[in-house]
Structure 1
Amino acid sequence: MTPAAIPPDRDHFSIAIICAIATEYNAVCHIFDEFWDENGDQFGRAAGDLNTYTTGRIGKHNVVLALLPRMGKSNAAAAAAGFRSSYNNIELALLVGVCGGVPRVGGSVEDEILLGDVIIGKTVVQHDFGRKYPSGFVRKASFEENLSKAPKNIQGLLNTFETDRGLWLLRTQTAQFLLQMQNAGKGRNRRPFAKYRYPGTAKDRLFLALTLFAKML
């Protein structure tokens, strides 16, 4: 297979990925088909941009990846501002990482959310956004008062995930990509990612539900 052409400048990157910690960064590097900066950063960055970038290709897309210096919203916002100044043609920005746990809602097994599940939402609610009154803080809960909606092309993609065919394609293709990620690096000395292979059910660890801990206390 003929290697893809290296983009001539930063204007030819369309996707940005931000990771908060090194573990997440390592996992994202799995899905890169090629890296453009293995011989040094040839694209640079705008004046005042403090991000350190990793550039490469995922499929047909040129992607730029950044690892935050520390976790937190302020660091993520600063990184996003740097992206905006250096990479002007970004169409999709992804904040990729491991989120917190979610308690079971209702008694149905289908409502149970476990570590490793993928949750796709259409909106983002900022929980510390609101007004301070003498009686206390009141959060703005409506979607209209929170963050702006995704672009129409992203909204259309999310809507397809609610169809039977779209959900089936998402599941089957995700399973294929996970298998490719687990096998990535075989025979490649520059990408020793064998440590990410699934160790098997014998290594699974099941923790008690939070409700049981509350009763114990």
Structure 2
Amino acid sequence: AVTERTRLMFVASPNNPTGVANAEADLLQLAERLPAHVILCLDEAYAEYLEQAPDLSAAIQAGRKVVCLRTFSKIYGLGGLRVGYAYGDPQLIALLHRVRQPFNVNVVAQVAATAALGDVEFVSMCRCENEAGRIMLCEGLAALGFETVGGQANFVLSRVGDGKMIFEVLQQCGIIVRPLAPYGMPEYVRITIGRAVENQRLLDTLGELIESGAIAQLG
């Protein structure tokens, strides 16, 4: 709950590890209802995977203390360059400029990021490929008896029973998923959406492991 001591509210949308995104109306309402002394920081690392990402410009223009964070490490594929940006309340951005390190983003990263922003066809293609892969994984996992969460990022959250065991067994097969016990979700794993051949390999491997008795179906 927000109290007089609260200074910052951090919201990730789409969320990691669920992939669930907040509606624009809900985020705008949150920004409007927060006390004036509370900053709303919105982590939008996976926003480009949404067909229509929330736009909080109305809240920013209304003087709300909102700052939004974006990265080029996800859909743009520039993770190795370590580049991103923030937009929001001008006063907050001015404060960030005062404390940021000089020369914090190199020229190569700046040029690549600028080019990436202009390549809307690539982003659209990646978004479509990701959605197709998400559907493929969700349907395939459901057919194997595993539950999934309807996220909108570049990964699928699945309830598999013993997440740590599934992680270890799949790792032995050359497939890596993320066990989520550190998130307080020991029955779940996070599966990155890959190319169709990679997704199918995961589903086939899980099917073979179930058939051999190495892992069990839920329910």
TM bin, normalised by shorter chain, reads under 0.3
Question: What TM-score, normalized by structure 2, do the two folds share?
Answer: 0.27
Question: What TM-score, normalized by structure 1, do the two folds share?
Answer: 0.28
**Per residue, is there more helix in 1 or in 2?**
2
